[in-house]
């Protein structure tokens, strides 16, 4: 996550929701729920600044249209995105609460039933 500052500067709530809603079905449940879990963790006031920076770097990488593997590439297009988000999840795991995970799953269910 050496470029976390670069990618966290690319993050915005509007870009996140545009990205997550538009290709959500293409990205797959695991990618979307991971992104949502990180989003809800970053939105929590109890999450320390350093953890938010890591999360926003990962979500910024997810949002940015130019990355290692272009998202429209069939099957593997989101592989790099999920790898970055999983690394961020590992780094900030202590700050991910059951509520963050539940909200992510509830959001997925509300979108896709």
Confidence bin at 1 (pLDDT 50/70/90): very low
Whether pLDDT at 63 is above 70: yes
Q: Mean pLDDT, to the nearest integer, of 63-71?
A: 65
Whether pLDDT at 5 is above 80: no
Q: Mean pLDDT, to the nearest integer, of 67-83?
A: 68
Whether pLDDT at 6 is above 70: no
Whether pLDDT at 69 is above 70: no
Domain range for 93: 4-112
Name the more confident of 9 and 84.
84
pTM score, whole prediction: 0.78
28-38 pLDDT tens trace: 888 889 999 99
Whole-number Å distance between alpha carbons of 92 and 48: 10
Amino acid 74: pLDDT: 53
Which of 96, 113, 109, 104 is CA-nearest to residue 34?
A: 104
Number of domains, the chain? 1
Whole-number Å distance between alpha carbons of 32 and 21: 9
Sequence-distant contacts of 6-14: CB under 8 A, at least 24 apart: 6/57, 6/60, 7/56, 7/57, 7/58, 7/59, 7/60, 7/61, 7/64, 8/53, 8/56, 8/57, 8/60, 9/60, 10/60, 10/61, 10/63, 10/64, 11/56, 11/57, 11/59, 11/60, 11/63, 12/63
Q: Mean pLDDT, to the nearest integer, of 63-78?
A: 64
């Amino acid at each position: 996550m050496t470029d976390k500052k670069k990618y966290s500067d690319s993050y915005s709530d509007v870009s996140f929701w545009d990205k997550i809603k538009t290709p959500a079905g293409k990205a797959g449940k695991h990618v979307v729920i991971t992104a949502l879990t990180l989003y809800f963790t970053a939105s929590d006031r109890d999450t320390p600044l350093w953890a938010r920076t890591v999360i926003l770097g990962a979500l910024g990488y997810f949002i940015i249209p130019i990355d290692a593997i272009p998202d429209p590439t069939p099957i593997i297009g989101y592989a790099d995105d999920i790898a970055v988000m999983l690394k961020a999840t590992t780094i900030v795991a202590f700050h991910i609460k059951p509520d963050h995970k539940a909200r992510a799953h509830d959001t997925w269910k509300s979108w896709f039933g």
